[in-house]
Amino acid sequence: MATKVAAGRTERADGESSLVWESRRPPSRRGGKRADLLPGKKCRHALGAVGLLIGFGFAARGAEAAAAAPKPWHSAVKDIEVGPGKLDFGLNVRSRYEHLDNFNILHYGAAEDDDVLLLRTRLSADYRLSAQAHTFVEFQDARYWLSKLTLEDFGRSSSYYDEFDLRQAYFEWQRIGASPLGVKLGRQIMSYGDRRVFAPAEWGNVGNYWWDGAKLCYDTDAIQVDAFYAQRVLSEPKDWNLDHWPYHVAAIYARLRRLPVALDGFYVLKHDWSGNLHGETGTGNETRHTFGLLSERPAGQGWDYGCFAAGQLGEYGRDAIRAFGVIGRGGYTFPAAWKPRVGLEVNYASGDHDPDDGVAGTFDGIFGAMDLPYGWMNVVSWKNLEDYALTVSVQPAKPLRLGVEYHGFRLAQARDAWYWVNGRPERRDATGHAGQELGQEVDVIGRWQVNKGIELLVGYARFFAGAFVRSTPGDSQDANWAFAQLTYTF
């Protein structure tokens, strides 16, 4: 069993660079101790606290240096000439405190109240051989304190905790030999389709999607096409991340250029041949074909819009997959001093209308961000969902942005489940008598870019439980959430 050894240790949206195949070792058996009080880990608890202090110390030092000199203090670790290329080092330290009332990251209900202090540290090195070719390596350490949740509560992979590990390690070469072809090989994150198709889920302390894969790129003035094959890395709290989730992914993503708006098309194949997926009519593999289009005009001045449509076909267990997802959004930024913007958005993901017909009608959220697009509290995911959103934002000063969001949540199909942010069913009424009214959420968010390297983000949100929550077993009280986050980057 490969374990992490200290001697070997060399946000919201960059090893061995060859593909790493699943080792299929058995899940680790860990005790139910608090993550910060694991036997023999008190020194690591102390190191985490020291890391927090060091990170904020760097932030303070960086702010002072920026005010006193034209060059930032960390310029000494940028553009270092090494052999035929130049080397950059980077650091990202993010700490966030959250108070969760009547829910936690895993479940909803009064017994799930929680407080958590999160710390995530990333250290990177980027070696540039030319403007087209570079090698990038990034390590990440993610820890948490105060929470009632133990590592055992999360299972084999934790959203909060992953000791010092390799997040990215890839080689990228664009426009090889002045051609339109390029490659990207190794461990990497991917972001496509307005974060709805692929996204790294940066809000999470660990992040959901890391990939060991190979990408081939074709890039011209008229079109850009990326084709890749990858396996998703299984993030393990205390072991080196060498294993993978039991599925393989191949995809093609294309963007047409020379158009007044963005127009993208995509195809994603997910194949899980583990043989243990339980459908309505039997157990088997999963082969899911997702195809769709995206068109958008980004926000900034005047009108903006976005349209996204995806269909899914294939087989889940022994069931036929017939599902789809649709997104429509539009907004207007007024030509005023505070740049006020008002936006409307509808997010729809089909549900399973009959749990016994042998058809899997629940849309799978592909590999996009499950968090934030559907409310900041992360009480839903893009599965069996109707989300009607209204957003209002202003920018009183260049570094300051304030926003309010309203989300009205409904189940697309009453007999399907309410799916939590992790994609797992939170509650289900197979009879459909509980209805479709899931609830409403209001978010108030403030973002202050203190300087180029320091960002402060604060927010409060409340979820108002709807008829479905009140009519199903479990707690039906409203939920509250507040947070404060500080990020330092160079």
- Residue 90 in domain: yes
Q: Where are the beta strands (DSSP E) in 129-210?
A: 133-145, 162-173, 181-188
Which is higher by pLDDT, 260 or 354? 354
Q: How confident is the model at residue 371 (pLDDT cuts 50, 70, 90)?
A: low
Query: What local confidence, expressed as pLDDT, does residue 208 receive?
Result: 82
Of 264, 254, 268, nearest to 295 (Cα)? 264
What phi and psi, each to the nearest 5 degrees, are found at residue 59?
Answer: -60, -45
Averaged pLDDT, 93-110: 96
Mention every residue, 6+ apart, whose C-beta is less than 8 A from residue 365.
Answer: 196, 325, 349, 381, 382, 383, 423
Is residue 103 predicted with pLDDT exceeding 70? yes
Model confidence, pTM = 0.84
Across the range 46-64, mean pLDDT stands at 43
Q: What is the per-residue DSSP string for 403-451?
A: EEEEEEEE-SSTTSEEEPTTSSEEEE-TT-TT-SEEEEEEEEEEEEE-S
pLDDT score, position 17? 32
Looking at the domain assignment, is residue 280 inside a domain?
Answer: yes
- Distance CA(209)–CA(270), nearest Å, equals 14
**Residues 443, 463 contacting (CB under 8 angstroms):** no
CATH of the domain at 295: 2.40.160.100
Q: Is residue 139 part of a domain?
A: yes
pLDDT band (50, 70, 90) for residue 373: confident
Q: What is the pLDDT of residues 256-311, one digit of tens each?
A: 998 888 899 999 999 999 999 999 999 999 999 999 999 998 887 899 999 999 99
Q: Is residue 281 part of a domain?
A: yes
50 has pLDDT over 90: no
> How distant, in Å, are the alpha carbons of 178, 355, 434 from that of 431?
61, 10, 8
Please give the backbone phi and psi of residue 154, each rounded to the nearest 5 degrees, phi first.
Answer: -80, -25
Compute the distance between CA of residue 152 and CA of residue 148 in angstroms, rounded to an integer: 11
Q: Please tell me the distance from the alpha carbon of residue 313 to that of residue 467, in angstroms, as a whole number.
A: 32
Exposure of 27 in the CB half-sphere (CA atoms within 13 A): 12
Question: What three-state secondary structure class fits 226?
Answer: strand
Q: Which tokens hold the place of 399? A: 């570094």
pLDDT, average across residues 100-123 = 95
Q: Answer whether residue 1 is part of any domain.
A: no
| pLDDT tens string 408-442 | 999 999 999 999 999 999 999 999 999 999 999 99
Res 239: pLDDT:
93
Q: Is residue 214 part of a domain?
A: yes
**Structural domain of 379:** 6-489
182 is a domain residue: yes
Confidence (pLDDT) at 70? 66
Per-residue pLDDT of 200-209, as tens digits, reads 989 999 988 9
127 alpha-carbon distance from chain centroid: 26
pLDDT of residue 385: 98
- pLDDT tens for 376-389 read 999 999 999 999 99
The per-residue pLDDT for 45 is 42
Q: What's the whole-number average pLDDT of the chain?
A: 87
Query: What is the percentage of the chain residues whose pLDDT exceeds 70?
Result: 85
Upper half-sphere CA count for residue 483 (Cβ side, 13 Å)? 26
pLDDT on residue 282: 93
**Which tens digits make up the pLDDT trace of 227-245?**
999 999 999 999 999 999 9
- Please tell me the total count of domains within the chain: 1
Write the single-letter amino acid at 194.
D
